[in-house]
Structure 1
């Protein structure tokens, strides 16, 4: 009997659909004299971070968003960074502010995220927005988690009642995804480096989301037949970008699978643009 390969969850196509809608929304906002604005603060010049920041800036500008890149030295003090962020908080041209991660070792990410006005925290990383998310009333959903949920919903498969397993418990991906899946009434298990018998857990998953950052961690024998598999892992191996999932073997067991690259990555950028436009829309109500 011939094996049927999984349907590929094409993040680029899904992102383009989002951009088409955003262009219309931005056009309507500009008719009301509101130009969505996004400021991205980058500390240092790590090549990978620069690539991500430049992609976000380019996409924002192509959509008609006023995008600004703020470059600071990687040895910047917390006080100096705070001054810059407070200035952006008070600048009405910018509805969204993000600080590109990872940060230099001398800066505490929690303290840095607390500097951003929660109403402009379009990454959704501040404790206020994380709290809103875990209370079931999200204000800004972290972009990667939002993109993952959009990919899941694009399958048209029911989430409620399904067994979901999330690999990774970071505050930027793993925990937000788990919270969103619970909001959709999935039964959620979060696995991490201390989980015993990982295969036993993953084999039960109708929905498997891997954000462990370990290349090839998920093999075919660890995946339930017919599962939906979302690969969030991004690791450079030589000049090749690879995910957590052994794509070639797993695609023959899963019903849907996201590739790396071209899966979650484009959706993360699209979701950030959605959050920025949402922030701009909210500013209309604040001024009314």
Structure 2
């Protein structure tokens, strides 16, 4: 068996094409959806991620505001930038690129963003609405990576109803939010959320119809750990230096040999990553619609 590829680039293109008319409708009313990013420090991957997000925004005709701050930026200075963006009516979605330098309080920064402008779906108010199951892609933003992973499967006609999904990683950015999203009645999957305290991880993996790994441990999930025909999504990101080139190489959580056991597998890069950015664009457009309802 050789797994079919869950092509995130193709699915992301579909998502973005579906946003075109919604963006055009807003522009006909004089509204251009605007994304603002805040980047502190010189972390190369963070700079790359922000460039890709603004490239996507430009391709869709969204307005972009970039705030690049030095690593020594104080909490007070960062708070002032967020306050400025919160007050800017041309900014509909705000994203603070994580990680921040160690001296800054990430949680306080996320909480300072206006929940209505939370482009990443990670403000406590929006996460609380997700826990209460009272939100959706139009009502309030959903976390981009988890909803992107689910959308990637649904767009490839993978039926998740009644399926056993094993999620590796309990971080709020991916793992915990996935459990909440997958167990909503609209999807109706059964979720096992594993983490560093899980005993005998392979035994859980061998029971899974779907495996989603987001822990950042290179090639953690082996082919022998999987049930034949499982759907496998690789959300993990880690890097090692290529000894020949001296450049960093991106590695995922899934061993490449897993493709010989799985029925579907997402590449890394090229799988969930493009969908994360597509769902970010969707959140910004939805925010602009919420903030500017038709009269």
Please tell me the TM-score bracket, short chain as reference.
over 0.9
Given candidates 264, 268, 271, the residue that maps to 2:272 is: 264
Q: Structure 1 unaligned runs (5+)?
A: none
Within 5 A, what are the aligned runs for 1:64-83?
64-83=61-80
- Alpha-carbon distance, 1:230 to partner: 0.6
Contact 1:155 1:256 in 2 (8 A): no
Q: What residue in structure 1 maps to residue 183 of structure 2?
A: 182
Q: Distance in 2 between matches of 1:45 and 1:240?
A: 18
Number of the residue aligned with 1:87: 84
Are 1:129 and 2:126 an aligned pair?
yes
Alignment length (residue pairs): 283
Aligned to 1:191: 194
Residues 235 and 242, structure 1, Cα contact 8 Å, conserved in 2? yes
- Alpha-carbon distance in structure 2 between the residues aligned to 1:199 and 1:85: 43
Cα distance, 1:77 vs structure 2: 1.7
Structure 2 unmatched ranges of 5 or more: 242-247
Q: Distance in 2 between matches of 1:113 and 1:254?
A: 37
Instruction: Confirm whether residue 246 of structure 1 aligns to residue 255 of structure 2.
Output: yes
Give the whole-Å Cα distance in 1 for the aligned partners of 2:42 and 2:65: 16
In the alignment, the residues of structure 1 paired with residue 21 and residue 240 of structure 2 have an alpha-carbon distance, to the nearest angstrom, of: 39
Query: 1:69: how far off?
Result: 0.9
The reply to whether residue 158 of structure 1 matches residue 167 of structure 2 is no
Contact 1:114 1:127 (8 Å CA) reproduced = yes
User: What is the aligned partner in structure 1 of residue 284 from structure 2?
Assistant: 276
Query: 1:227–1:256: 8 Å Cα contact kept in structure 2?
Result: yes
User: Normalization by structure 1: what TM-score?
Assistant: 0.95
CA distance in 1, matches of 2:64, 2:262: 39
Displacement of 1:36: 0.2
**Runs of 4+ off more than 2 Å:** 237-240
State the 1:240 CA deviation.
2.4
Higher mean Cα deviation, 54-63 or 20-29?
Answer: 20-29
Query: Following the alignment from structure 2 to structure 1, what is the Cα–Cα distance between the partners of residues 121 and 73?
Result: 23
State the superposition RMSD in angstroms: 1.1
Aligned residue for 1:143?
144
User: How far apart are the structure 1 equivalents of 2:129 and 2:194?
Assistant: 23
Deviation string for 1:48-72 (max 9, x for gaps)?
1101101111110121000111011
TM-score, with normalisation over the residues of structure 2? 0.93
Match of residue 203 from structure 2: 200
